[in-house]
Amino acid sequence: MERPAWAPRSIDISVPSVSRMYDFYLGGSHNFEVDREAARRALEFMPGLPKIMQANRAFMRRAVRFAVAEGVTQFLDIGSGIPTFGNVHEVAQGAHPGARVVYVDHDPVAVAHSEAVLRGNDDADVVAADLRKPREILSNPQVERLIDLNRPVALLLVAILHFVEDTDDPYGAVAELRDALAPGSLLILTHASYEGIPLPQERAEGTVDVYKNIRNPLIMRSREEIARFFEGYDMVEPGLVPMPTWRPDTAPEDEDPYAFSGFAGVGRAA
């Protein structure tokens, strides 16, 4: 198996990675055959996965523009993945030059590629850390350099919490991050769910099994369970909704049916 020049030496390229599979779904080139194989198996059950990823990205961009319009110009994107076109720093700094962005991911490929993309951008950085350890993120010197926790921050948890099992206490991690942020901060979140997938649940479970088999379980939560992540936040209109219906730029009825899988929302810290 050839190791491409961009692949950090420390990584095992025989094990699939969630962020590299996501990169493959979006048409990126920072993935290995092992990632493509797993992704193709998942696509056999749920051929609309790329549409779901695209809907996630489109919602993220609208939410970032919304944050800037609300005067929030600091962004902490946890589980940021491998950078693709229209990333948070491009959208935020395009709308507000000087907006500050810190990406956080625990995938070494995502971190290495982000470092390359951000070279020379003094207002953006990437940190290798894990959502399950919020304190390590908040006390990281790169985070402290760019993010002033005394001012509102937009915290992005886009398509990440469904990879955190209940035994790892995702609700506790999100609450710990919330408590560290200033009033007026925003939580921008998407999460997978069986609700809205245009397939029988048994068929969608085939995709969930693929992730379980690569030891990256995909945790499908109900709308009610996802809403619990917003405890301590006031929901921004229109609330917790399918991704294409959150402040859309184009008519939601023109969207692919798969785009309505799962939920998206923005909350404002009181």
Structural domains in the chain plus CATH codes: 18-269 (3.40.50.150)
Closest CA to 219 of 160, 148, 155, 149: 160
Q: Roughly how many angstroms between the first and final C-alpha of the chain, as a whole number? A: 52
pLDDT tens-digit map of 26-77: 999 999 999 999 999 999 999 999 999 999 999 999 999 999 999 999 999 9
pLDDT tens-digit map of 135-159: 999 999 999 999 999 999 999 999 9
| Rounded (10°) CA dihedral 184, 57, 226, 135 | -60
Q: 263: pLDDT confidence band, cut at 50, 70 and 90?
A: very high
Residue type, 132: R
Q: How far apart are CA 215 and CA 198, in angstroms?
A: 26
Q: How far apart are CA 33 and CA 25, in angstroms?
A: 13
Q: How far apart are CA 21 and CA 40, in angstroms?
A: 9
Does position 97 have pLDDT exceeding 90, yes or no?
A: yes
pLDDT tens-digit map of 190-229: 999 999 999 999 999 999 999 999 999 999 999 999 999 9
Q: 33 near 48, Cβ under 8 Å? A: no
What pLDDT, on the 0 to 100 scale, is given for residue 146? 98
pTM comes to 0.96
Least confident of 3-17, 60-74, 163-177, 256-270: 3-17
Q: Which two tokens stand for residue 61?
A: 């961009």
- Tabulate helix, strand, coil % of the chain (nearest 5): 45, 15, 40
Q: Which two tokens stand for residue 247?
A: 């402040």
Q: 142 near 171, Cβ under 8 Å? A: no
Residue type, 164: V
Instruction: Extract the runs of DSSP E, i.e. beta strands, from 54-162.
Output: 74-78, 100-105, 124-128, 154-158
